[in-house]
Structure 1
């Protein structure tokens, strides 16, 4: 009798262990090839040609690392300073970036801010602001959309 009880208990343990170690269901993600192709079409264009100023509904500064801002602690900045930084980044993005490139963030770059661009048609783009370690000004932007990512180097005032 004891043998049957032990055998039953062992069987129950093995069965519960077998069901507990089942792998989770696999979720299949479909790629949006139309969006990926759009990024390839943008290579060589300037930002203002890919996303025109008239098509933008709003630009939101969602994250800011205020390291290097004069007169602030490392984690604090005034509303006016934040507004000025966001305006400067937007101006740089639209007028001082070079042609859109394929590659992303370089090893010597750090992310200092993030902008979210919402267009009038409802598209949402995320822009990471990059600067080289030890420098104060942005040297590149990473533009991320639905299924793609491109790089915009800062080259100075365009003609």
Structure 2
């Protein structure tokens, strides 16, 4: 049985525990895929959720963590198109991560939460780029409406989001 990381109370890393848990088959009509996780990212929101400081409610007990990862599809639901078992994917943002978080060996999630893994990314890069780049892109392009020839000041450019923002602004 695959292992997952769960927590039953809020606190520091010591509240995390590893349990064996069955992974559901992708739903026939739900447009789901099952992914064998190769690596997952640890994001600040995970620590906030674990500590009880999340902006969204975290139902206890048996809450999970992890909103992004990379892995290989090992099963697809009947209504899934464009994805096949054996394909490497990036898990982009799990909408209900407290229930199906990526801190696991396998997860079953909506097919809309995965994209094909770009060939130029290795496993650690693929596991950890989505949230940083999505956050930077949203801030610069969608919120600030950055355009070519704009000048942009990026403070905190040493972190993941800052480095992503530098590349997007460039």
TM-score when normalising by structure 1:
0.21
Larger radius of gyration: 1
TM-score of the superposition, structure 2-length normalised? Answer: 0.20
**Structure with greater helix share of residues:** 1
